[in-house]
C-alpha cells in the first residue's frame, strides 16, 4: 500500500480530486453531480490518502475531529433550512438571486447550494470518520 509511486501520486491526486469534488458539488444543480457525489469523491481521495500515509499525516491533512465536519455540515444545512421560518415561510423554502458582479457578469445564487455544501461536509465527515476510526483500530 505504501509504495513510493502511490505516495507520490497521492500528493498530486488528492488536491486534484478535492478540487474536482468541489466542482462536482457546485455544478450539481445543472449537471450530474451534487453534494453527495462531491462529498463521496472527496472522501474516496481522503480515504486513499489516509491508507497510504497513515494516521499522522492524516491528522495533519485534517487537523480536526471529523465530527466537527459533520457538525458544521449539518448545522449549515440546518440553518439554510430554518432560515425561511424567520420570515414565516415553510422550512427549507429556497431562495434564489441573480447577483450582479459588476462587469456584466451575473451569478445565479441558490440557497440550495449552501445546503448542498452542508451535505458535502457531512458526507466527508461521516465516511472519512468511519474509515479513520476503523483504520485506527486496525493499526492498534
Partner 1 sequence: MISTLFLTLIGADNGQHASVAGPALVEGAGSSSRTLLLLLAIFAPLVTGLITLFYPRKGITLRVLTALAGPVIAFLLLLNHFNVNGVQPLDAGSGPVAEISWMPLLHLNLAFLTDGLGLFFALLVSGVGALIVLYARGYFGKNEDDLYRFYPTLGFFTTAMIGVVLSDYMLLTLLFWELTSISSFLLIGWDRYDKHAVKLAMQAFVTTGMGGMGLFGGILLFGMTTNVWTWSEFINFGTWWQAEYASLAFNNPVFWAFLLMFFGAATKSAQFPWQYWLPGAMAAPTPVSAFLHSATMVKAGVFLTGRLLPVFGGAMVAADGLRAGLEIWPWLVTIIGGFTMVLGALISINQHDLKRIFAYTTVSQLGLLMCMYGLGSFAYEHNGHLLQNIDFDITQIANHAFYKAPLFILAGALGHVLSRNITELNGAIKKHPAMCITIILAGYGLAAGPGTISFQAKELFLYAIYHLKYTAVGNWWMLLMAAAIVTATCNVAIFIRLTTTLIGLPGGFKADPNAIEADHHHHEHEHGFWASMIWVPGAILVSFQYIGGFVPSLWMRVFGDLEVYNNNYFAEGIPTFWGAIIHGIHEFSVPLMCSGIAIVCGIVLGFSPIFRGTIKDVCDKIYPGIYWLAVTGGGKAFRLIQTGNMRHYTVMVLIAFLSVFYFVSLGDSKMFDLAVSQLGSFNEFWPGVFLGVIICTTALSLPLVSHRIIRILLLGSCGFTVVAMYLVYQAPDLALTQLTFEIISVVLFVLVIRLLPRDVPKYRPNPIWRIALGTMAGLAFGWMTLVAVGADPANKLGMWFTMNSYEGFVRDVYNAGRGGGGKNIVNVILVDFRGFDTLGEITVLSLAALGVWSLLPSRRSRKTS
Partner 2 sequence: MTVVLAVCVAVTFGVSIYMMLGRELMGLAIGVFLIGHAANLSILAMSGSPVIQHDKAYQTAEFKIPPVLESDQQAKDWSEAQLIKAEHPEQDVVNPLDEMVDPLPQALILTAIVIGFAVMGFLLTLIVLTQRRAKTLDVNELAKMDLPTPSQAH
Partner 3 sequence: MSGSINNFIILFCVIPLAAGLLSVPLVGRSFPSRVIGTLSFASTFLLAVYLLIQGYADNTIYVSYMGSWTAPFGISVVFDNLSGLLLATASAVALGSYIHSYSTNASHIERGYFHPLIQLLMFGVNLSFLTGDIFNLFVSFEIMLMASYALLTIGASKKQMSQAYKYVMLNLLASTIFVIAAGMAYGMLGTLNMADMALIVKTKLASGEGLPVGFTALAVMFLLVFALKGAFFPLWFWLPDTYYTCPISIAGLFGGMLTKVGVYAVVRTFPLIFTQSVADIASVDVNPTRTTILWIIAVAAAFTMFLGVLGAVSQHEVRRILSIHVISQVGYMVFGLAIMTGWALAGCIFYMIQHMVVKCSLFLCCGIMEKHAGSDDLDKLGGLLKRDTLLGVLFFVAAMSLVGLPPLSGFFGKMVIIQEGWNNGLWWLSIIGLATGALTLLSMLKIWSYGYWNPEPKKYPQAAKPENVKSSSRSGYIGIAMLVVLALFLGFGANPVYKFADRAGEQLVSPDAYIMAVLPKERIKLVNPELAAKLYDGIGHDRMSEPLDEEPMIISASYNKEVHP
Rank residues 16 and 110 by Cβ distance to partner 3 and give the closer one: 110
Q: What is the Cα–Cα distance from 124 to 118, expressed in whole angstroms?
A: 10
Question: Nearest 5°: CA angle at 114, between 118 and 126?
Answer: 10
How near is the Cβ of 15 to partner 1 at its closest, in Å?
18
36 binds partner 2 (CB under 8 A): yes
How near is the Cβ of 87 to partner 2 at its closest, in Å?
27
Task: Quote the cell numbers at residue 41.
Answer: 469523491
**Of 5-13, 54-62, 96-104, 117-125: span binding partner 3 (CB under 8 A):** 96-104
How near is the Cβ of 52 to partner 1 at its closest, in Å?
12
138 binds partner 1 (CB under 8 A): yes
β-bridge mates for residue 110, sequence order? 96
Rank residues 18 and 112 by Cβ distance to partner 1 and give the closer one: 112
CB 46 within 8 A of CB 13: no
**Of 3-11, 63-71, 97-105, 119-127: span binding partner 2 (CB under 8 A):** 119-127
* H-only helix segments in the chain: 4-27, 35-53, 55-61, 66-82, 111-139
Amino acid at each position: 500500500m505504501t509504495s513510493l509511486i502511490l505516495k507520490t501520486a497521492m500528493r498530486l491526486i488528492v488536491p486534484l480530486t478535492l478540487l474536482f469534488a468541489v466542482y462536482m458539488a457546485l455544478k450539481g444543480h445543472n449537471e450530474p453531480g451534487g453534494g453527495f457525489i462531491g462529498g463521496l469523491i472527496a472522501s474516496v481521495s481522503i480515504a486513499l490518502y489516509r491508507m497510504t500515509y497513515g494516521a499522522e499525516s492524516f491528522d495533519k491533512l485534517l487537523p480536526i475531529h471529523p465530527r466537527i465536519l459533520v457538525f458544521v455540515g449539518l448545522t449549515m444545512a440546518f440553518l439554510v433550512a430554518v432560515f425561511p421560518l424567520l420570515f414565516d415561510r415553510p422550512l427549507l423554502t429556497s431562495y434564489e438571486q441573480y447577483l450582479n458582479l459588476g462587469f456584466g457578469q451575473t451569478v445565479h445564487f441558490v440557497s440550495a447550494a449552501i445546503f448542498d455544501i452542508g451535505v458535502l461536509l457531512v458526507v466527508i465527515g461521516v465516511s472519512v470518520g468511519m474509515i479513520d476510526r476503523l483504520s485506527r483500530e486496525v493499526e492498534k
